Amino acid sequence: MSRSVNAMPPATSGPHSQEKTVTSSRPLAGILPAVPTPVDAGGAPDVGRFLVHARWALAQGCHGLNVLGTTGEANCLSTGQRKAVMEAAATALDGTPLMVGTGTPDLSTTIELTRHACALGYAGALVLPPWYYKNVSDDGLFAWYERLIAGTADAPIPLYFYNFPHMTGVPLSLQLMGRLKAAFPRRIAGVKDSSGDFALSAALVDIGDFDVFPGNEMALSAQGAPRYAGCISATVNVTAPLAVRFWANRDDARLRRRIDETRTALSAFPFVPAVKYLLSRIHDDPEFERVLVPHLPLDAGRKARLDELRLD
């Protein structure tokens, strides 16, 4: 695996500079890695190593961070553990635009975590739908988000939908998101769309005053890409310099190929263990490799294949 990813400086100019491509007026915009949560041998968050990687990503030019999402194994952590990570990030990375996952299957815990995020000064809360019950109606989902907004009325942190039906089994429709934005225009800020449906991502921009972050860097060269607020992706954790350069120069065919090749290659592996393994190589620290069950570490064969992956 190439280690030159550590040395590559972020680009700050080009035909599509950051100022020209970031359409959002909110603090969350641009390239945001979905940061993994390192853990110790007992499964507790290792906030020291979490901050090592967070600072590395920011040093490569990332514009903010997404904390405690899917790659952060948030749904493998207790409420107290999630709060500990939130507090460490907010305290140590003061001034960095931070988005944090606060969605859980139960409304009470989601309200609790969302209020905590507001108190800590997070720029946005990323909220999964209540994902245990499948085939629920849009009316039911509307009522759930409506109650979340009512329960955080005095903690009015901007809310971002997290649309990841492959994981949740509960898709958030274009119509539902548009309806909630119309009903609560001051609270609903946008979406991380990890549906993989690039046509949906492009259509979501038309909701208006609604920041769309595809969950895949490959979308940045697809239809509608110039209007995206940015991208929130797991692979940015290991390709940060490349992704930042691509965000600033999206007409660069070579960068587009490298982004597509890297994302496609990583998609052949279990995502969380693969990203954590690559972080252990980037930081020369095997402790980054540890995952939480039900994830399992990669076997030697998969590690060897990842060692051949070019990241620059």
Q: Per-residue confidence at 224, pLDDT binned at 50, 70, 90?
A: low
- 83 catalytic? Reply is no
Query: Residue 241 pLDDT > 80, yes or no?
Result: yes
Q: Smallest Cα–Cα separation from 71: which of 277, 242, 287, 210?
A: 277
Residue 106 lies in a domain: yes
Q: Looking up tokens 């960095």, which residue turns up?
A: 96
**Is residue 155 within 8 Å of residue 194, measured between CB atoms?**
no
- Segment 232-237 shows an average pLDDT of 96
The pLDDT value recorded for residue 284 is: 97
Task: Please tell me the distance from the alpha carbon of residue 267 to that of residue 274, in angstroms, as a whole number.
Answer: 9
Query: Residue 14 pLDDT > 90, yes or no?
Result: no
Q: Smallest Cα–Cα separation from 160: which of 74, 229, 92, 225?
A: 229
Q: Per-residue confidence at 23, pLDDT binned at 50, 70, 90?
A: low
Q: What is the DSSP letter of 212?
A: E
Query: Residue 222 pLDDT > 50, yes or no?
Result: yes
- Segment 157-176 shows an average pLDDT of 98
- Segment 155-177 shows an average pLDDT of 98
Q: Per-residue confidence at 185, pLDDT binned at 50, 70, 90?
A: very high
188-206 pLDDT per residue, tens: 999 999 999 999 999 999 9
Question: Which residue in 192, 276, 277, 303 is the catalytic one?
Answer: 192
Question: Which residue in 122, 145, 160, 277 is the catalytic one?
Answer: 160
Token digits of residue 185? 């225009």
Task: Please tell me the distance from the alpha carbon of residue 230 to that of residue 28, in angstroms, as a whole number.
Answer: 8
Residue 312 lies in a domain: no
For 189-215, b/e burial (b = at least 16 CB within 10 A) is bbbbbbbebbebbbbbbebeebbbbbb
Dihedral through CA 67, CA 68, CA 71, CA 72, nearest 10?
A: 100
Residue 29 lies in a domain: yes
245-267 pLDDT per residue, tens: 999 998 899 998 998 898 999 99
Residue 243 lies in a domain: yes
- 160 catalytic? Reply is yes
Work out how many domains the chain is built from and give that number.
1
3-state secondary structure of 92: helix
Task: Please tell me the distance from the alpha carbon of residue 194 to that of residue 201, in angstroms, as a whole number.
Answer: 9
The pLDDT value recorded for residue 304 is: 97
Token digits of residue 290? 């540890």
289: phi then psi, degrees, rounded to nearest 5:
-75, -20
CATH code for position 24: 3.20.20.70
Token digits of residue 309? 């992956």
Host domain of residue 248: 4-307
